[in-house]
Structure 1
Amino acid sequence: MTERTGHCLCGAVSFKLVTEPLATRICWCRDCQHLAANGSVNLLVPADGLSFSGVLSEYTKIADSGDEVTRQFCPKCGAHLFAKSSNRPDFRVVRAGNLDDPSSIQPSMNIWAASAPGWACLDPALEREERQPMPPK
């Protein structure tokens, strides 16, 4: 197991992952595109494997999946850090770009590929899901 650390843009929020990601995926849902202006590389981790310090702000909305998704971000710099879903309370999504070493992970799948813009560069070597995949076991 590799411990991973990260932080927001301004450093006011830092986090630690003490478990391996259950999945590492590039998400092309419209919400991630709004947050990242592109696809977003996300880690799916057990909620109890993530700890953080600092204050988070939250924004909740109903996603295209029908789930209530709460996105957590730094109130100072606005960096989006984590997300949690009403349908999957035992998991957290961690934005890979906030890792201190984002090269320590490798995406294995494109999800919500049906929402990707025509110019998106989807690696054909990665598994592809048109919408939301089932959670890993």
Structure 2
Amino acid sequence: MAMTYSGRCACGAVTLQIKDAPVGTRQCWCLQCQQIAAGGPSHNAIFPTEAVSIAGPLRHSTWTAASGNTLTHHFCPSCGTQVYAQSSARPHLMTVRFGVIDEPHGLRPEVVIWTDEAPAWACIDPALERWPGQPPAPAPPPPPAG
């Protein structure tokens, strides 16, 4: 049975349905994520783009990330909730914010990235795999059996 998730922004204007398991989950300490997350890291689940359906209005902002890729963040224009991000290097993947996925989703970071940009006071789980900067993309899921 395939995993499914639903979600919404804080005001409910944007909803999402996800019809697949994440290919990875990450905590990101890059400076851009610290800015959009009010000083802490962002917490993200990475899904195949075709698995995610979004309804409602979205706005976006785009910039060049420290990795050199163009990063586009999509958010609700009414309440500002961050919904997802997408990298120019990985258009087949959507990085969905944990906070927009309905609880209980059971997700937790598997990897911590951009640790070199984390502040000295950051609490990083020592049990998690760490990357000082941009890691390689998550491996694609295996093809369906059959």
TM bucket (normalised to shorter chain) is: over 0.9
Q: Which has the higher strand share?
A: 1
CA contact (8 A) 2:5 2:105 kept: no
Counterparts of 1:58 and 1:97, CA distance in 2: 17
Counterparts of 1:115 and 1:85, CA distance in 2: 19
CA contact (8 A) 1:96 1:102 kept: no
Structure 1 residue aligned with 2:11: 10
Structure 2 residue aligned with 1:27: 28
Q: How does 1:46-65 map to 2 (within 5 A)?
A: 46-65=48-67
Structure 2 residue aligned with 1:93: 95
Structure 1 residue aligned with 2:115: 113
Give the drift of 1:103: 4.5
Q: Give the fraction of aligned pairs with identical amino acids, expressed as a percent.
A: 43
Could you tell me which of 115, 123, 126 is aligned with 1:124? 126
Secondary structure of residue in 2 paired with 1:101: coil
CA contact (8 A) 2:44 2:95 kept: yes
Q: Deviations over 1:60-95 (max 9, x none)?
A: 110111001111000101111111111111011100
Larger radius of gyration, structure 1 or 2? Answer: 2
* Moved beyond 2 Å, runs of 4+: none
Farther-moved stretch of structure 1 (98-107 vs 11-20): 98-107
Counterparts of 1:35 and 1:106, CA distance in 2: 19
Aligned pair in 2 of structure 1 residues 83, 74: CA closer, same or farther (>3 Å)? Answer: same
Counterparts of 2:21 and 2:124, CA distance in 1: 24
Structure 1 residue aligned with 2:144: none
Structure 2 residue aligned with 1:80: 82
Give the drift of 1:16: 1.0
Please, what is the CA RMSD of the aligned residues?
0.9
Give the drift of 1:97: 1.1
Secondary structure of residue in 1 paired with 2:78: coil
Under a length normalisation based on structure 2, what TM-score does the superposition of the two structures give? 0.91
Under a length normalisation based on structure 1, what TM-score does the superposition of the two structures give? 0.96
Give the drift of 1:104: 1.5
CA contact (8 A) 1:9 1:79 kept: yes
